[in-house]
Amino acid sequence: MPAFAANLTMNYPELEFLERFDAAARDGFKGVEFLFPYAFDRQDLKTRVRGNDLHVALFNAPPGNWDQGERGLAALPGREEEFERTIGLALEYSQVLGNSRLHVMAGLRDHDIPYERQMETYLRNIEYAASQAKSLGLTIVLEAINTRNMPGYFVNYQEETKAVCDLIGVDNVKIQFDLYHAQIMQGDLVVRLETLFESIGHIQAASVPDRHEPDAGEVNYPYLFKWLDRVGYRGWIGCEYNPRSTTSEGLGWLSPWLGVIAKTL
């Protein structure tokens, strides 16, 4: 059965970040994910995780200067040393929080630089991150992001992340298949999931086009979740959506699936 993780960056926005762990557990979640934990002490985070009997499914490596528009460093030539430091910091958090997936963001396409040079940098950096992550049993995941929410992001299509996984060719680099981005850019979700299945390390869900609970909009999520169950997806599905009202009130769609823990911890 698919296991759902609350996304504590988007869910429970009415609460302070640390309180969101308690709220997710009260609502029956067994897993949580979030973007950037680095403003918080890792031991404080661990206390919330342990105290609520939660698993951390995933978080992101530091993305560079987010407030100034940076969206990752992995595909940015000249930023390699900084990139390596961000991986070092992320792994220090992983050691304490025990997540099995780390999302490493590529960054934006720089049209002053040949695409091939950015791609070479991306490949080298992801290879570096994977080699550092290996001894922790940690998988690096790569996400294609839609051009409407994040104009200029370096990777927009699921097959691009698959190509990077194949070129690097190690078993701890996989696809973060965000169904919301995939529907906006490409559609044909079941065929795409089926084709890429072996390379998928994490999934995220939200309604399209509004990025709310996955119970409305143009994607038939009940069908997709049952399909993922049937084909044996045993990883986490992150609830990466902005709730329509409160997160707790909007969880009716989740009742058949609550309480499940992913096998790929």
Per-residue contact string for residues 224-253; x = within reach of ligand LCNOYBR7 by CB under 6 A: ----------------x-------------
Q: Are strands 173-178 and 101-103 parallel, antiparallel or unpaired?
A: unpaired
φ and ψ at residue 120, rounded to 5 degrees: -60, -45
Is 132 buried (19+), middle (13-18) or exposed (0-12) by CB count in 10 A?
middle
Tell me which of Mg ion, ligand LCNOYBR7, none is bound by residue 3, counting a contact when its beta carbon lies within the kind-specific cut-off of 5 to 8 angstroms. none
CB of residue 253 to ligand LCNOYBR7, shortest distance in Å: 19
How many CB atoms are closer than 10 A to CB 259? 12
**Do residues 97 and 42 make contact, with C-beta atoms less than 8 angstroms apart?**
yes
**Do residues 57 and 100 make contact, with C-beta atoms less than 8 angstroms apart?**
yes
Instruction: Select 70 or 226, whichever has its Cβ closest to ligand LCNOYBR7.
Output: 70
CB of residue 184 to ligand LCNOYBR7, shortest distance in Å: 11
Does the annotation mark 213 as catalytic? Answer: no
Q: How many residues does the chain have?
A: 265
Q: What is the number of the residue whose Cβ is closest to ligand LCNOYBR7?
A: 178
CB of residue 51 to ligand LCNOYBR7, shortest distance in Å: 26
Q: Which of residues 173-212 bind Mg ion (CB under 5 A)?
A: 178, 204
As a 3-state breakdown, the chain gives helix, strand, coil percent values, each rounded to 5, of 40, 15, 45
211: left (phi over 0), alpha (psi -120 to 50) or beta: left
**Chain center to CA of 51:** 23
Q: Which of residues 71-130 bind ligand LCNOYBR7 (CB under 6 A)?
A: 103
Site membership for ligand LCNOYBR7, residue 178 (CB under 6 A): yes
Tell me which of ligand LCNOYBR7, Mg ion, none is bound by residue 35, counting a contact when its beta carbon lies within the kind-specific cut-off of 5 to 8 angstroms. ligand LCNOYBR7
Among candidates 41, 45, 113, 48, which has minimal Cα distance to 75? 113
Helix runs in 203-249, H state only: 221-230
CB of residue 159 to ligand LCNOYBR7, shortest distance in Å: 17
Tell me which of Mg ion, ligand LCNOYBR7, none is bound by residue 162, counting a contact when its beta carbon lies within the kind-specific cut-off of 5 to 8 angstroms. none
Task: Return residues touching ligand LCNOYBR7 (CB under 6 A).
Answer: 35, 60, 103, 143, 145, 178, 181, 204, 240
